[in-house]
Structure 1
Amino acid sequence: MRSFRVGGAVRDALLGLPVNDTDWVVVGATPEEMIAAGYLPVGKDFPVFLHPRTREEHALARTERKTGRGYRGFAFHASPDVTLEQDLARRDLTINAIAQAPDGTLIDPFGGQRDLKARVLRHVTTAFREDPVRILRVARFAARFHDFTLAPETMRLMREMVAEGEADHLVPERVWQELARGLMEDHPSRMFDVLRGCGALERVLPEVDRLWGVPQRADYHPEVDTGVHNMMVLDMAARLRAPLPVRFACLTHDLGKGTTPPEVLPRHIGHEQRSADLLKTVCNRLRVPNECRELADVVAREHGNIHRSGEYGAAAVVRLLERCDAFRKPQRFEQVLQACECDARGRLGMQEQPYPQRDRLLAALQAARAVDTAAIAARAREQGLGGERIGEQIQQARAQTVAAALQTSSASAA
C-alpha cells in the first residue's frame, strides 16, 4: 500500500502558491485494509477515507467507465490492481494530474509540469469528454490562473461536448458550486469568457449569455455592450474583495436588459423589474442560497434608484431605505451599496471614480435608525391612532432626522 499526494496540492506547491488542502491517492489497498489501518470511510460514490491523524482525504486509486449522461453517469472501479497512472489519466487537466511520492519524487505521465511552465490549461485524455462538470472546472481554473491560456484542442473538445448535449445534463447543485467558486476568483470574468467560448453559458445561464451584443446609452455606458459592462462590474467586485452574495448580485443586476424590446434600444426603461423576475428563474433553477438570492433581488430592483439617490430629498431617501429593508438588515444594505458601487465603477473610464451615494445613504440610515420608533408608536396609540397612521408618523420622524443629517453632510462636503 502506497500513498501519493495528488492534484491541487502538488500543482500549487510547484507554482509557489499556498497549499490549503492536501488530497492523497492510495495504490495497492482494499477498503478493508484502509479501515483496519484506522482510516475513516466517508466516500458515498467511491472509496474515500480520512486519515486517522491528519484527517486529510485518501482515495483509493480508481478508474471510471461512462454509463450514462451527465455528472452521475459513471461506474467506478477501485481495486489494488489499479495503477497510479490509470488514476491520473481520469483527471481533468494535466496540471492537476501530477502526483508526488512521500520522498518528494514527482510522477507526471501527462506533461503537467510542462504545461505549468508554459502556462497552459490542457485536458489529460479524451476521457475528459465524459464528465460535463469538467467544462465548468476548466472555466473556473481559467478565472483562477488568469495568465494561463486554454489549449485550442481543449476548447475544441469542450465545444463538441456542448454540441453533443452533455452540458444539458449538468446537475444544478454542481453548476452552482462551480459558479460560486469561480465568482470568488480574482478574475471571475474569465470564467464567463471560457463558458461563452465553448457555448456552455447559453446552456447553463442563458439569462447572462444574452446580454452580449445588447447596446446601452453611450453617455452612461462608454463600453456600450451590456455583456462587457456586466463583466467589468464583476471584476470590480473582485477588485474590491466583495463577498459571494455581492458578486452574484453584480452578475445578475442587469439581466432585464437582455429582454429589452429592440425598438426601444439603447434605452432600458423598466429593466430593473425584469431583472428581478429573471433572477427568480435563475435562483430556482440553480437552487441559489437565500443569502445570495435576497441580496441580488434588492440590487436588481433598486440599483438605479440608489445611483440617483444623490438627487433625492429626505422623504424619498427614507422610502428607498424601507424598500431595501435597510432598517432591519443594515449589514445587508452595506453589501447592496457595495454591489451598486461596483456597477457604477464597472464602466469604461470610470473605474477610479468615487461613489458618494454610498456614504450619503449610510449616513441617512444611521440617522434614521436613531429615531425612537417605540416612543413614537406609544404616543400615537395614546392619541387613538392605528397601524397605518403610526407608520406615517415614524416615516415623518425619520425624514426629519435624515433631512438634518443630509444638510450637515452637505455643509461638511462644501
Structure 2
Amino acid sequence: MNCYLVGGAVRDALLNIKAPDRDWVVVGSTPDHMLDAGFTPVGKDFPVFLHPNTKEEYALARQERKSGKGYKGFQFYTAPDITLEQDLLRRDLTINAMAQDTAGNIIDPYKGQRDLAERKLRHVSDAFSEDPVRILRVARFAARFHLLGFTVAPETMALMTQMVKNGEIDHLVAERVWKEFSRALDEPSPDVFIRVLRTCGALAKLMPELDALFGVPQPAAHHPEIDTGEHVLLCMQRSVELSQHSEVRFAALMHDLGKGLTPQHQWPKHHGHEETGLPLINALCNRLSVPNPHRELALAVAQFHTHCHRAFELSTKKLLETLQRLDAFRRPERFEHFCVCCQADAQGRTGFESRAYPQAEFFQAARLAMSTIDTKAIAAQGHKGAAFGEALHKKRLSLLESFKKNYKVKE
C-alpha cells in the first residue's frame, strides 16, 4: 500500500499557499485492507476512508467510465492494480493532477508544474467533457486564482464551449450549480466566475436573467461603463472589498436584473427596473435552490436601492416607510448588508470607485435614532393593539423629523 498526497494540497504548496485540507490517494490496497488498518469508510460512490488519527480522507486509486448524462452518470472501478497515473488522469485540471510521495517527491505526469508556471487552467484529458460540473469548477478556480494571473487555456475554453453546445450542461442539477456558485462568491474575484461562464455560453443556460444584462446600455453620465452587465460585475467586485458575506455579493450581482426587461426604445433609461427585477430574482432563486437569506437580501436591494441613493431627498414619511419595509428595526444586520450593497452599487461604476457614499451612513444613523424609542413607555401610557402601533408610528415620525433637521453629513 502506497499513499500519495494529491490535488489541491500539492498545487497550493507549489504556489506557497496554505491548503485548507489534504487529500490522499492509496495505490495497491483494497477496502478490506483499509478497514484492517483502522480506517473508517465514508465514501458512497467509491471507497473513501478517514485516517484513524488525522481524520484526513484517503481514497483508493480508481478509474471511472461514463455511463449516463450529467455529473452522476459515472461508474467507478477500484482495484490494487490501478496506478497513480491512471487515477490522476481522471482529474479535471493539470494543476490538480499532481501527487507527492511520502519522501516529498512530486509526481507530475500531465505537466501540472508547467501550467502553474504559465498560469494556465488546462484540462488533463478529453474525459473532462464527460462531467459538466467541471465547467463550473474551472470558472471557480479562475475566480480563485485570477489575482495570481491565471487564465483558462484556449483549448479548455473551446472544450467547455462545445460541452455547452452539446447540451451536457443541461443535465446539471440545481443544488450542484448553487454549490459551485456559492463557493465562487467566497473567492477573491467572483466576477471572473461569471465572465468565464459567459465566455463559454454556460451563463445563458444557467442564469439567463443575468446573461441578458450584457449589451444593455445605461446613461453614460451616471454609468461610464455603459453596459449593465459590466456594471453588476463591478458592483459585485466592489462588494468583495466591502464585505465578506456571500449574501451581499449575491445581492450586488442581482440588483439590476430588471434592466434586462427594459424595452429597447426606452434605452438607456430604465424606469421601474426595481420592481420588474423582483420576479426575475425569484425565478433564478427558485431554479437554483438559492437559500432564503440570499434571496431576501437580493429582493430588498433590488427594490429599494434607489431609495438609498436618494436618501437625502426622501420625505420623513417616505424614509420611515422605507426603513419599515426593509424591516430595519427587527433585522439590523440584514439592513447593514443592504446599505453595503447600495454603496457597492454606487461605487461599482467606472471612475466612481472612490467617490464618497454618505447615504449609507445616513440610513444607518436614521435606524439607530429610531432604536432609542422607549416602547415600554408607550405601552405604559395605556396604548394597546392598533393604538400602540399608531402611537409608535407618530413617535418615529417625530423623532425622524428631528433627526433629519440636525443630521450633518461627515466630510
Q: TM-score, normalising length from structure 2?
A: 0.97
Kept after mapping to 1: 8 A contact 2:243/2:340: no
Displacement after TM superposition at 1:413 (Å): 4.2
Distance in 2 (alpha carbons) for counterparts of 1:145 and 1:268: 35
Match of 2:404 among 379, 392, 406: 406
Distance in 2 (alpha carbons) for counterparts of 1:184 and 1:75: 32
**What is aligned with 1:290?**
292
Distance in 2 (alpha carbons) for counterparts of 1:296 and 1:377: 35
**What is aligned with 1:180?**
182
What is the 5 A alignment of 1:32-71? 32-71=32-71
Displacement after TM superposition at 1:408 (Å): 2.8
**What is aligned with 2:78?**
78
**What is aligned with 2:93?**
93
Tell me which moved more, 22-31 or 398-407.
398-407
Tell me which moved more, 114-123 or 312-321.
312-321
Displacement after TM superposition at 1:373 (Å): 2.5
What is the 5 A alignment of 1:13-28? 13-28=13-28
Distance in 1 (alpha carbons) for counterparts of 2:163 and 2:19: 32
Kept after mapping to 1: 8 A contact 2:248/2:337: yes
Runs in 1 of length 4+ with deviation above 6 angstroms?
A: none
SS of the residue corresponding to residue 64 of structure 2 reads strand
Displacement after TM superposition at 1:133 (Å): 0.3
Distance in 2 (alpha carbons) for counterparts of 1:174 and 1:219: 40
Kept after mapping to 2: 8 A contact 1:249/1:292: yes
Displacement after TM superposition at 1:87 (Å): 0.6
Kept after mapping to 2: 8 A contact 1:142/1:191: yes
Displacement after TM superposition at 1:180 (Å): 0.9
SS of the residue corresponding to residue 145 of structure 1 reads helix
Give the letter aligned to residue 271 of structure 2. I
Distance in 1 (alpha carbons) for counterparts of 2:243 and 2:329: 25
Deviations along 1:336-359, whole A, 9 cap, x unmatched?
A: 111111111000110001111111
**What is aligned with 1:395?**
393
What is the 5 A alignment of 1:15-414? 15-146=15-146, 147-379=149-381, 381=383, 386-387=385-386, 389-410=387-408, 413=410
Displacement after TM superposition at 1:380 (Å): 5.2
Kept after mapping to 2: 8 A contact 1:186/1:239: no
Kept after mapping to 1: 8 A contact 2:358/2:410: no
Distance in 2 (alpha carbons) for counterparts of 1:173 and 1:43: 19
Identity of aligned residues (%): 54
Distance of aligned partners of 1:297 and 1:380 in 2 relative to their CA distance in 1, 3 Å threshold: farther
Distance in 2 (alpha carbons) for counterparts of 1:204 and 1:374: 51
Distance in 1 (alpha carbons) for counterparts of 2:343 and 2:291: 23
Kept after mapping to 2: 8 A contact 1:377/1:394: no
Distance in 1 (alpha carbons) for counterparts of 2:354 and 2:339: 16
Q: TM-score, normalising length from structure 1?
A: 0.96
SS of the residue corresponding to residue 344 of structure 2 reads helix
RMSD: 1.4
Kept after mapping to 2: 8 A contact 1:315/1:396: no
Distance in 2 (alpha carbons) for counterparts of 1:58 and 1:49: 5
Kept after mapping to 2: 8 A contact 1:93/1:121: yes
Kept after mapping to 2: 8 A contact 1:94/1:111: yes
Deviations along 1:62-96, whole A, 9 cap, x unmatched?
A: 11100111111111111111111111000000000
**What is aligned with 2:10?**
10
SS of the residue corresponding to residue 363 of structure 2 reads helix
Displacement after TM superposition at 1:242 (Å): 3.1
Distance of aligned partners of 1:196 and 1:413 in 2 relative to their CA distance in 1, 3 Å threshold: closer
Tell me which moved more, 235-244 or 166-175.
235-244
Give the letter aligned to residue 95 of structure 1. I
* Aligned residue pair count: 409
Distance in 2 (alpha carbons) for counterparts of 1:264 and 1:379: 54
Displacement after TM superposition at 1:292 (Å): 1.0
Deviations along 1:130-189, whole A, 9 cap, x unmatched?
A: 000000000111111111121111011001100000111111111001111111111111
Distance of aligned partners of 1:61 and 1:226 in 2 relative to their CA distance in 1, 3 Å threshold: same
SS of the residue corresponding to residue 407 of structure 2 reads helix
Kept after mapping to 2: 8 A contact 1:89/1:97: yes
Distance in 2 (alpha carbons) for counterparts of 1:239 and 1:208: 22
Kept after mapping to 2: 8 A contact 1:360/1:406: no
Distance of aligned partners of 1:368 and 1:198 in 2 relative to their CA distance in 1, 3 Å threshold: same
SS of the residue corresponding to residue 185 of structure 1 reads coil
Give the letter aligned to residue 229 of structure 1. H
Distance in 2 (alpha carbons) for counterparts of 1:241 and 1:119: 28
SS of the residue corresponding to residue 63 of structure 1 reads strand
Displacement after TM superposition at 1:314 (Å): 2.8
Kept after mapping to 1: 8 A contact 2:121/2:153: yes
Which ranges in structure 2 are unaligned for 5 or more consecutive residues? none
